[in-house]
Chain A
Amino acid sequence: MKLKNQFFASMVVLSALSISFSSCKSDDPKPADEPKNESELITTFKIELKDSLTNNIKTFYFKDLDGEGGNPPTQLDTIRLKSESVYLCSVFMLDESKNPVEDITEEIKEEADEHLMVYKVTGANLSIQITDKDSKSLPLGLLTKWKSGTVSNGQLLVSLKHQPDIKDGSADKGETDVEINFPVIIR
């Protein structure tokens, strides 16, 4: 009987210990903690246009500071261009939810072989030509040359395609990381 009691006592202690032990780990996250978001976001897309005659720089933004879902985007600029002009364009992608702000453009340059920026204009008299290339001489699209025509309105669809191992210059492959439809006004 003694053995039995001892056994029971030790079982109770053991199980009580194990339950309290496992539920009190202090390094585990708590329900009220602010969620740490370490995943990669693109919150901001920036278009920088340099007028080839005047060297004036104009910038246009798309911003959605908490990424997809959650709050709606906070900024979507209309791209306003002069008619019959030539612009040199650079695009930048940023993660402004991080501190300091992360420049995603650098990362895309490093992996140029897996990425392609695609520009599709509808309605407006605008032609866009990719001027940069990756290591395999396929277009990349971070740098472009824009030629505007007569006065018109339309849309510009900018997308970033992620095409690991499958990049061959075609636009309908891979996963879409960015897709923004900017209104375009040429005056």
Chain B
Amino acid sequence: MKKNTQLNITFLSDTYSLLISVVLFIAFFVIGNSTVNAQCLFTIKGLVIDSSENTPLELSYVQLEENKKGTYTNKRGEFQINDVCAAEYDIHISHLQCEHLHIKLNITKDTFIVVYIKHTDIELQGGKITMHTHHEDDDFNSLNLTEINAKKGQSIADMISGIAGVVLVKSGSTIAKPMVNGLVGNRVILVNNDVRQEGQNWGLDHAPEIDGNMATEIVLIKGADALRYASDGIGGVVLVNPQSIFKERTNQLKGNINSSVQSNGRGMSTSIQLGQKVSSKFPLFWRVYGTLAQSGNIKTPDYYLNNTGKRENNAAAMLAYQTTKVKLDLFYSFFNNKIAIYQGAHIGNLTDLKLAINRDEPTDKGFFTYDINRPFQAISHHLLKKKWNFLFNANNKLEWIVSYQQNHRQEFDILRSANSSNTAASFDYLIKSTMTDLVWSKKDFHHVNFKLGVYGLHQTNAFSGRFVIPGFVHNSGAAYFITEWDIKKVHFEAAVRNDVKSIRAYLWNQGVQTIKDLFFNGFTYHTQMKAPLTKQSFITLTQASSWRPPMPNELYINGLHQGLATIEVGDPNLKPERSFNQQISYHYHSKKIQFEAELYYKRINNFINLVPDTQAQLTIRGAFPVFKYEQYDAEIYGVNTLLKVELSQNLALNNQTFLLYGNQLTPSRFLNQMPPMSNRFSLEYKVKKWVIKPQILYTAQQKRLLPEMDFKAPPASYFRFDANLEYEFVVHKQSFQIQLTVLNITNTRYRDYLNRFRYFVDEPGRNFIVKLNIPLNIKTQKK
């Protein structure tokens, strides 16, 4: 005796959602039972559907406002509320990533409703506020999952170098740092999982302490949102994010194993990820990660590089909980590695350096071993993060992040005596950083989105060993305002930020302590405009200014740098750097062709740079060249382009060009350590489940350098040929991926200008890498 009745139901948004301009499409079907039962025995059943994907929406919370009775939808999107009395109810339907709905419903019988709600992911993906999907075709500044997966097992810097404008500054074959448009070190900010990475970022031989295997998104932020993370990201701000833990909708145990082996260095790496939602009803999520990696001595085409092994073990755990209004996640990660440093680059004095530089090949041809001897580095990095998300409604959110990082870096020089009982590190740095970031995001406030935030940092750096940099206490606070809006089809972004920093440094000289107190205050802004030119193209104009105060290493460093037999001397009178960045970029995207180009001009006043001094310093090991921190005005300008053409259904070509010039302005001369022009060309051929991708990398010789600016002329230009072969297969409904990569196929001898060991040895020779990705989808018993 059932009959279907269709009801017209008026719905009201809650007060905040009145601002929503997007009209929701809602349909209701009410299936009622015509017989009236006793007063409080009605049942409301229903189905919540994501209108954009037309799929059931799990974890929506359905609540009767009158008596606060509520329940979550199951994974089929169904819900049921029992023992409902006959009355008119205001039913509140909410989902964390959706608009909230209020429905007035008069219950007189058992009722079944179907609710279509619009699932708008208001999770601030990659820290961007996006009203529209601006970044859908932005391959330029980000790496997608496929690109990241192809580089799994490599260092985080290697992964980031896939982004246009990013090259690597290397110290041998095991240590790499990303350089963004000619800037490196303290000027490139890495944000790992919402938290600014704080280690000994200044050293060129200090690689970022992040496990790239966890990343599923890597983005170089060029928009106003960069100011949320830093004022001093003159080079850029790179976000490295793992997959959002809240994505899981079922309680199935999910994960994957990434395993790789490589011929050169006989390296192996295995990384595992596993997680689940505890039960489909209880929104508690967990995930764990682990990585183990090891490699031995690397071989150039002609000889082994003694002592170039590496060991790494990392682990991380996440725990998260969400209700309709609050999300909380806890994250802990541990990064630990031991990196051997090529022995031939450990130089006794200037005479040794000159001898080593003038040799074409090292005297010792080396052999293979996994053993790690002095000199080596041992680094451990802990990150603990707590993040709250308070979701007042779809347009109104408060995010609070508290984090703690502890970075312990030890460097072990060669000992004078092989039998020495001295096991202590030659340098030992311990840097601890506690940070907090509170940001209020408001969307669609008179058609404007904005974020308002405050940031605080307390950092201590303790140092022991041979004096290089002082211990210091660094406190820093900032407030920022970031906004975006659209006028017709033109998108605008703007941000302002003000930072205050105080640094107290403890200098020691033969038992006597001197305390230096410094205070800096700086203002930063970023403006950007994005306008469509045609249906297929748009341009972006950026004008921004950043500010970076000198850090203790630049001010007070005073010591021997064994790796290059140089003495580095800081300048305590350095002033903050101020950069002005102008950029214009053009994007064209048609069905077959994608073209992106960016042209930038950066003027940096008071640019701090390490330059050779005319006077050598006398030591017991002979005279050493001195490099001093100096500052002057500088300019860096260049162009990055990307071209993707689909030649046919199976064949695509891809070309990336990088061109950069750097000049010192007062007095006028070239800037040293600037990357030469390079070009990367690849083809991608797909047949069935196979993808074949050959690639040619060309790097020009850096000619913009005066002979007195370096020990040796920059290396010659080179071509390098690589190839990648990928195959996907399905076993038991699970898709496996296997990849074969060959680097330096022709086993070419070459050296790279940005590798600091270019004076001594060639780059690695041919390398075969085999990678296997095994998905883990473990069925759990229903609870």
For residue A39, which residues in chain B have a CB less than 8 angstroms away from its CB?
413, 422, 424, 426, 465-466
Contact among B415, B464, B567 with A40 in the assembled complex (CB-CB below 8 Å):
B415
Q: Is B419 within 8 A of A110, CB to CB? A: yes
CA distance A14 to B402 in the complex (A): 13
B260 smallest CB distance to A (angstroms):
32
Chain A positions within 8 Å of B422 at CB level:
38-40
Most buried by B among A34, A39, A62, A178: A39
Point out the residue from A29, A68, A104, A114 that lies within 8 Å of B567, measured CB to CB: A68
With both chains docked as a complex, state the minimum distance between the C-beta of A108 and any C-beta of chain B, in angstroms.
Answer: 8
The answer to whether A45 has its CB under 8 Å from any CB of chain B is yes
CA distance A72 to B618 in the complex (A): 7
A111 touches B466 (CB 8 A): no
Which residues in B have their C-beta under 8 angstroms from that of A18? 332, 384
Cross-chain contact A30 with B404 (CB below 8 angstroms) = no
- Check A69–B321 contact: CB distance below 8 A: no
Most buried by B among A43, A164, A177: A177
A36 to B: closest C-beta gap in Å: 5
Structural contact, A35 and B567, CB atoms closer than 8 A: no
Task: Assess whether B347 is interfacial by the CB under 8 Å rule.
Answer: yes
Complex Cα–Cα for A181 and B349 (A): 13
Report chain A residues within 8 Å CB of B464: 29, 33, 35-37
CB closest residue in chain A, given B432: A23
Contact present for B348 and A177 (CB under 8 Å): yes
Asked if B473 is at the interface of the complex by the 8 Å CB criterion, the answer is yes
A180 at the interface (CB under 8 A from B): yes
A161-187: contact bitstring with B at CB < 8 Å (1 yes, 0 no)?
A: 010101000001111111111000000
Q: Contact between B430 and A28 (Cβ–Cβ < 8 Å)?
A: yes
Q: Does B622 contact A (CB under 8 A)?
A: yes
A175 contact from B330, B352, B460, B513, Cβ within 8 A: B352
CA distance A71 to B507 in the complex (A): 13
Are B349 and A35 in touch, CB under 8 angstroms?
Answer: no
Which residues of the partner chain B approach A33 to less than 8 Å between Cβ atoms?
462, 464, 471, 506
Known: A35-B508, A164-B418. A67 touches B466 (CB 8 A): yes
User: For chains A and B in complex, what number of residue pairs have CB atoms within 8 angstroms?
Assistant: 176
1/0 contact string of A80-124 vs chain B (CB within 8 Å): 000000000000000000000000100100110010000000000
Tell yes or no: B363 within 8 A of A by CB. Answer: yes
Query: Cβ of B688 < 8 Å from any Cβ of A?
Result: no
A15-B621 in contact (CB<8A): no
0/1 string, B304-339, CB within 8 A of A gives 1 = 000000000000000101010010101010000000
* Interface contact A66-B509, CB-CB below 8 Å: yes
Report the Cα distance A36→B567, complex, angstroms.
Answer: 20
Residues 46-89 of chain A: 1 if any B CB is under 8 Å from the residue's CB, otherwise 0? 00000000000000001011111111110010000000000000
- CA A76 – CA B426 in complex, angstroms? 27
B559 nearest in chain A by CB position: A69
A39-B413, A42-B620 known; A15-B465 Cβ under 8 A:
no
Interface assignment of B686: CB less than 8 Å from any CB of chain A = no
Q: How far is the CB of B211 from chain A (nearest CB, A)?
A: 19
* Residues 598-635 of B contacting A (Cβ, < 8 Å): 617-622, 624
B80 within 8 A of A: no
Chain B interface mostly: strand
* Set of chain A residues within 8 Å of B466, measured between Cβ atoms: 35, 37, 39, 41, 67
Helix, strand, loop or mixed for chain A's interface? loop
A175→B418 contact, CB < 8 A: no
A11 in the interface, Cβ–Cβ < 8 Å? Answer: yes
In the bound complex, do residue B352 and residue A176 qualify as a contact, i.e. CB atoms below 8 Å apart?
A: yes
* In contact, A68 and B560 (Cβ under 8 angstroms): yes
Interface residues in B504-527 (C-beta closer than 8 Å to A): 504, 506, 508-511, 513
Q: Which of A22, A34, A173, A178 contacts B621 (CB 8 A)?
A: A178
Q: Is B461 an interface residue (CB 8 A)?
A: yes
With A22-B384, A172-B355 known to touch, is A40 a contact of B618 (CB < 8 Å)?
no
Within 8 A of B (CB), among A1-31: 4, 7-8, 11, 14-15, 18-19, 22-23, 28-31
- Indicate whether B480 reaches chain A with its CB closer than 8 angstroms: no
Cβ contact within 8 Å between A29 and B462: yes
Q: Is the CB of B620 within 8 A of A62?
A: yes
Nearest Cβ on chain A to B61's Cβ, whole angstroms: 12
Contact A43 B620 (CB under 8 A): yes
Choice from A37, A110, A176 contacting B622 with Cβ under 8 Å: A176
Given contacts A11-B321, A172-B355, 9 further A-B contacts (CB under 8 A): A8-B326, A15-B386, A23-B432, A41-B466, A62-B620, A67-B619, A69-B617, A70-B559, A179-B621
Residues on A close to B: CB < 8 A? 4, 7-8, 11, 14-15, 18-19, 22-23, 28-43, 45, 62, 64-73, 76, 104, 107, 110-111, 114, 159, 162, 164, 166, 172-181
Jot down 20 A-B pairs with beta carbons below 8 A, ordered by A: A4-B323, A7-B321, A11-B330, A22-B382, A22-B406, A29-B430, A31-B473, A35-B463, A35-B467, A36-B465, A38-B422, A39-B424, A67-B560, A67-B620, A68-B560, A69-B567, A69-B568, A76-B618, A177-B348, A177-B416
